[in-house]
Amino acid sequence: MKKFLLLVLVALLNGVMLQAQSNVIDEVIWVIGDDAILLSDVENMRLQMQLERQRIQGDPYCVIPEQMAIQKLFLHQAKLDSIDVPDSRVYQQVEAQVNYAVNQVGSREKLEEYLGKSINAYREELRTNMKENYIVREVQSKLVENLKVTPSEVRTFFNKIPQDSLPYIETTVEVQIMTIEPAVSLAEIDNIKEQLRDFTEQVAGGKKQFSTLARLYSQDKASAERGGELGFVGKGLLDPEFAAVAFELNDPKRVSRVVKSEYGYHIIQLIEKRGDRINVRHILLKPEISAEELADATRKLDSIRTEIVNGKFSFEEAVPYLSADKDTRNNQGLMVNSDESKYSDRTGTARFEMNELPAEIGKVVYTMKAGDISKPFTMINSKGQEIAAIVKLKSRIDGHKANLSEDFQALRSMVEAEKRDQIINKWIAKKQKETYIRIHDNWKNCDFEKDGWVQK
């Protein structure tokens, strides 16, 4: 079967053209093992990168298929090693990207016109691409899992760099945060619950479908477009209060009681259970915060700041008892930068460059000195809620040319990245020799980043 598929692909490469329904000529331009790369695949990726405003260094019709070919080498290895990632891991990212794309072009209709496909088709392509990206990262992580960098390697690396070529280290800061969530009036909570109970009655009485109400009223925009459906997830990926109620459901025709989570108030409907995973619909309503309630929270935080400044207690002593930010309150308010693209060990760091901070925090921190505590300000937290906050600047290292005393960790990351690239490039070169590769004659004259694609 594989031989037959290979013969078919080779025939296509020798000039057999496929006429798509849209009357756009398509063709196979690369073959990697048993996989083909189509011209339409490259064009779709080019449009996607334009939407995401990604710059392409070089000819996109050379750069993109090479990137796809490298991806296919890693995906083949993933099959051999039985590496996979659950769809739930990419679910939220897909929805965020769809919403971003819609905002970029102005509407769902304009996006469909731009892409030449439906939103659902676009969403499925994104899901596949993002899942494959995760799988590739897992394969790469496995390849470099034993990589180690010694202090002597860092010193050797630094000493080899000419003084006029030392890397510039951007200003970095460590920030501690304390937040207070505005109180919500009982009347507003009662109103939210009443709305959700009314939705439940409409579903139970057959007046409306749960999915219809979710599309119309749910404030979880990502799932609302799909009628409130979350997709299959395990308990660990859900808010604990939400999960406790969702996993108790057994009858798809019934609607849960109103449940409160850190996001707001929900009602839930079961779609299907599969082992330890569940697929449900939900409708989320968030209580509205009045200007006065937000002002009260700000005034309270201002009083706390005054007592800290006057020495009644320290910022660090106050955070565990007074801050609403559960991600930082057990760490004296210290924020953690977990940007996976920069920190390969995924443990994160307390250091942020200015552009890595949330915009509201970055604006406040920009003029602060180490030890300063800001005045209260308002911001939107990760749950989409408007809250009051103060921050303390724990440390600040202004931009400068790299040196060993202040920038050892940054230099260590550079050495690690260099060694990681060497390992991965060596692996790619080996994989190229072991894999059947054929490139259409019209696509062989590219200035490829990696050698070894055009096999003799």
Is the entire prediction scored with pTM above 0.85? Answer: no
Distance between CA atoms of 432 and 448, rounded to whole angstroms? 13
| pLDDT per 10-residue tile (average), the chain, 456 residues | 41 38 67 92 87 85 94 93 81 77 80 84 86 92 93 95 91 96 93 97 95 94 86 84 94 95 94 89 94 94 96 96 92 83 55 92 95 95 88 95 90 93 95 92 89 82
pLDDT score for 381: 86
Ordered by where they begin, the domains of the chain are 2-146+419-443 (1.10.4030.10), 169-183+290-401 (3.10.50.40), 186-285 (3.10.50.40)
pLDDT score for 339: 63
pLDDT tens per residue, range 353-366? 999 999 999 999 99
What are the tokens at 227? 């009628």
239 within 8 A of 282, measured Cβ to Cβ: no
pLDDT score for 98: 81
pLDDT score for 1: 44
pLDDT score for 21: 35
